[in-house]
Amino acid sequence: MSETKQPVLLHDTLSGGKTELQTLIPGQVGIYCCGPTVYGLTHLGNTRAAVVPDVMVRFLRHEGYEVKYVRNLTDIDDKIIARANEEGVEAKDLANRFIDAYHHDLADLNLLDPDVEPRVSEHMSQIIELIESLVTLGLAYAVDGDVYYRVRSFGPYGQLSHRSLDELLEGAGSRIDVDERKESPLDFALWKAVKPDEPSWESPWGAGRPGWHIECSAMSSTHLGDTFDIHCGGRDLIFPHHENEIAQSQGAHGQGTFARYWVHNGFINFDGEKMSKSLGNFFTTRQITELYDPETVRYFLLTVHYRSGLNFELEVPCPSCGALLAKEDQESGKCPACGHESSPEVLKQRVRFPGLEDADDRLAYIYRTLAGARAFLANAKRPGNEEPPLESVSSLVEAFSAHLRNDFNTGGALGELSKPLNEVNGLLASGKGVSKAVRYRTIETIVQAMGEVAAMLGCFGQEPEAWLLRRRDSKAARIGLDVAQVEELLAQRIAARVAKDWAAADRIRDELAKWGVGVQDGPDGSVWSFL
C-alpha cells in the first residue's frame, strides 16, 4: 500500500472530462454502483458493470483510501413481477433465486463483496419518506394512487446526458408511454398504485410499490449520505435512470448534493451488434464461464479501457464440416458448404470466442511464468551477495499503478506486464548475461510484484499449477480433445523413454503436437499441456 496518495484521475460524465479525484472526506471514498434487476441470470453487460467498480475499489484501497462500497439489488420491478407470474411463484422468491445466482457468478469472477448490498424491498420506509419530501416541495404530484416527478420543476434536468428538455422530448418519441394524467411526457413514476397479482406496500397515496429510479436515490443517501464521491454504472443508465436520480436527490437535498463524480462503462457487443436474445449474440455470464475459466473472462473484460466498447467476436462452425457460418447461415441453421442443417441450440453449443481464446492463452502464459518462477525459487539457493533486479521488474508495480491512476486504465496497465514477463522467462531459460544474484533477485521480485498486481486487479492470484491444470482440462473439453487418448500416448512415450527408444518417443511427441499438445519432461516424470 502506498505511503502517500498520488493524484487519481477519472473521467466524470457530468463535467464531460477527466478530473482529479477530490474526495468529500480526505482519505475516504464512498462509491455507489447500480446493481442488477434480478429476474434472470446475469449477462456479460451486468458483469462488466460490476467488474469496473470492483477494480476501482481494489485500487483505491491499494492507494491507501478507506473505501465504502455500496451496490444495490433491485428485487421489486415490472420484469420480476411478470416472470414470477409466468412461473406461478412469489416475486420475492424469484428475486431471491436470481440474487443467489448473481452472487455465485460474481464469486466465480473473484469480485469483492460490497460493504453494503441494499435491497429495494428492505428500504420501503426511506423510499416513501423521500417521495413525501418531493411532494411537499412541489417537485412531485399524486394522481389516482400514482406519484410522478414534475421534471420541468427541476431546472438542471438533462445535465448528466447533456441534453435540453426539448431534445429529450424529441429523442424520446414513441418510447414514452402516453398518459394524459401526467403534466409532461417526461414526468416519471416515483410510486405506482397496486395492480392485481402484484406485491404492494402501504403508503400515503395508497397501496403500491416504488418506481425504478427512486430506489437508488433512497438507498444511496441511506448508506452513503446525501452527498458521496462516486456513482458507477453502465452507459445505458445515463438516461433516464441516472438523470432521474439526480433530479430526485438534488430536488430533495439541494443542488450540489448527491454524487460528485459519475463513472460509466461502455457497452458490450457481440460481433459488432448490441446483445440480444437471438442466436449468437446473447449469452449469460454462466454460459461463458462454463466454456472458459472465469478468470479468463475477467481478464478479457479488463484488456480494454472501461469507457470503451467491448466487442465479443464469435465464430460458429458447422457441426458437420467445420466451415464457419455467416450470420444469415446461423439464423437459417443451414450450412452453405455442405448443406447440413442444425438447430439454434446445437449451433449455440458450437460457438467459439476468438477474443476469449487469446485472453486464455495470455493468462496461461502469465501463470506458466509464475509457476516457473516459483519452481526456480524453491530449488535455487539464494546468492550470498545482494544485487538489484532488472529495472523492468523493479519498476513494474509503479508502472502498473500509474495507468490505474489515470482513469483506471486496465488495458494500459496490462500492457506493462509484457517486457518484465518476457525478461523473466529469458532468465528462467538461461542465466547467461547476468549474475546469479541479479537472476535470483529478478525472479524473486516478479513473484512479489505480481502478488501486488493481483491484489489491484483481481487476476493472477491463484495457485499457478492448479489454475493451469484446470485450464488444460477445461480447454480439452471445449475443443473435444480425448484426454484419455492423450494420457495413453503419454504413457507410451514414457515407456519408450525408459526403453531408450528415442525415435518412438519423438514420434509420439510429434503426434501430440499435431493436436496442440506439448510434453514437458522433468525429474518427476512427464506432463502434458497445450502449446
**Residue 436 is placed in which grid cell?**
546469479
As a whole number, mean pLDDT of residues 435-463 equals 97
Percentage of the chain lying above the pLDDT 70 cut: 95
Euclidean distance between CA atoms 450 and 397, whole angstroms? 8
Alpha carbons within 13 A on the beta-carbon side of 176: 18
Give the class (CATH, top level) of 9-265: alpha beta
Is residue 142 classed as helix, strand or coil in its secondary structure? strand
Break the chain into its structural domains and give their ranges. 9-265, 273-355, 482-530
CB 177, CB 133: distance < 8 Å: no
The pLDDT tens digits for 82-123 are 999 999 999 999 999 999 999 999 999 999 999 999 999 999
Strands (DSSP E) found in 182-334: 189-193, 208-210, 227-234, 258-265, 268-270, 273-274, 310-312
Average confidence score pLDDT of the chain: 92
For residue 171, the model assigns a pLDDT of 64
The pLDDT tens digits for 6-16 are 999 999 999 99
**Secondary structure, 3-state, 408-425:** CCHHHHHHCCHHHHHHHH
Q: Provide the β-strand partners of residue 273.
A: 270
Least confident of 147-156, 427-436, 445-454: 427-436
The pLDDT tens digits for 331-365 are 888 999 999 999 877 887 778 899 999 999 999 99
**Residue with cell string 528415442:** 502
For residue 174, the model assigns a pLDDT of 44
